[in-house]
Amino acid sequence: MTDIITIAVDAMGGDNAPSVIVDGAREALTSGIPVELVGDPARISNYDGIVLHTALEVIEMHDEPGRAVRNKKDSSIVRAAECVRDGHASAMVSAGNTGAVAAAALLRMKRLKGVNRPAIATTLPVPGRAPKILLDSGAMADCQPDWLHQFARMGSAFAHVRYEVDSPRIGLVSIGEEPEKGNQLVKETHQLLADDSTINFIGNVEGRDVLGGDVDVLVADGFTGNVILKTLEGTLQFLVSQIISALSADDAAEIGPQALGHLAPIAAELNPDAVGGAMLLGVNGVAIISHGSAGSTAILNACKVAQDMVERDLVGELAAAVNL
C-alpha cells in the first residue's frame, strides 16, 4: 500500500449522487485529504482536478446486495473495494446500498484473520459525553453467540481507537438486566462475554440504556441493532419536528427564537452528517458506510474519519483484539 493515505470515494452511491458526493470529495481534497473518485465519467460533471477510477455500473438502493455485487462487477462500490484491496487506496467511503458495501468489502478486501463475520459499528452521538457505539447495526441479521462475542471485542477496540475511551464498557442488548433474561442467543452470548477477561463487560442492557445508560458499546445481532438504529432516527426526526412546530407557534413568538438558539448546538451534535458514517469492522481495510441521504458535509467528515482510522491503524488493533 502506498505511504500516502488515499480515500476511494464511491461517487455513484446515495440519494444525492453523484453531484453532492463529488462536492464532499472536493471539500476533503481542499482540506488536505487525498481522495479519488470511483464512478461513471459520463454521469459526473464536476470532477475536474480529482482522479477518477472508471466504473460503468451502479448498484441501486433496491438491488439485492449479494446478487448485485456478483453481477455488477464494474459497479462503483465493487471497484472502490478493489482500490483498497489492490493498494490504490487506503480506505473506501460509500453512501450507497449498505448491504452491497458490506458484501463488496467482504468479498474483495476479505475478512481479517480470525474474524467470523464483519459488523457495522454505528456511532450514536450523546451530548455531553463520548459517543456510544452500536454494533451490529445491520450487516448480520442472524448471528451466533461467538459472532457477538467478536463484535464485543471489535467494538471495544473501535471505541478505544476512535474515541480514546479507556476500557470501554460493553453492554449486551436484552430485555432485562438479569443474565437469565433474553432469548437463547443472548443467554449464550452473555456467558461468553462474562468469561472474557479482555473486555469490560458490564452485563445486559435494555432499550432505555441505549442513549442514557452507563455503557460505551452496545452489542446486538444485526436485526435488533438495525431496529434500534431506525427507531432512534425516526424518534429524533419526530421530536425535532414537534419542537420546531411548537416554538414556531404564534403564542411562542417571544421565547421561540431564544429556545431554538439554545437547542441548535444540541441539534448540530446529533446531526448524522457530523459523524460521517458507520464503520464496517472485521474486513481487511477501512470501509465507511455513509447514510443514503448524506450531504457533502457527511462525505467530507467520512473522509476525515477514514484518514484518521488508517493513521491510527484501526485494522491492526481490530486484528489484535479478535485474536487475543
Q: How far apart are CA 241 and CA 236, in angstroms?
A: 9
Asked if the domains 1-114+282-324 and 116-274 are classified in one and the same CATH topology, the answer is yes
Query: Is 262 a residue whose pLDDT tops 60?
Result: no
Beta partners for residue 201, in sequence order: 170
Give the orientation angle of helix 256-270 with respect to helix 222-247, to 10 degrees.
160
pLDDT for res 130: 84
**What percent of the chain stands above pLDDT 70?**
92
**Phi/psi class of residue 281: alpha, beta or left (left: φ > 0; alpha: ψ in -120 to 50)?**
beta
Query: Is 1 a residue whose pLDDT tops 50?
Result: no
pLDDT band at 2 (very low <50, low <70, confident <90, very high): very low
**What percent of the chain stands above pLDDT 90?**
75
More confident residue, 46 or 106: 106
The average pLDDT across 211-222 equals: 93
Which amino acid type is present at position 27?
A: E
116-274 belongs to which CATH class? alpha beta
Instruction: Write out pLDDT tens, residues 280-324.
Output: 999 999 999 998 888 999 999 999 999 999 999 999 999 999 987
pLDDT for res 261: 64
E strand map for the chain: 7-10, 35-39, 52-54, 91-94, 119-124, 132-135, 169-173, 200-205, 217-219, 278-281, 286-289
Query: Is 27 a residue whose pLDDT tops 70?
Result: yes
Instruction: Write out pLDDT tens, residues 137-148.
Output: 999 999 999 999
Q: How far apart are CA 156 and CA 200, in angstroms?
A: 8
**The three cell numbers locating residue 118:** 464483519
More confident residue, 187 or 246: 187
Mean pLDDT taken over the chain: 91
Assigned CATH topology for domain 1-114+282-324: Isopropylmalate Dehydrogenase (3.40.718)
Selection from 204, 213, 199 nearest residue 182 by Cα:
204
pLDDT for res 242: 79
pLDDT for res 266: 60
Show me where the domains of the chain are located.
Answer: 1-114+282-324, 116-274
The average pLDDT across 133-162 equals: 96
**The three cell numbers locating residue 29:** 481534497
Instruction: Write out pLDDT tens, residues 226-240.
Output: 999 988 888 877 877
pLDDT for res 4: 77
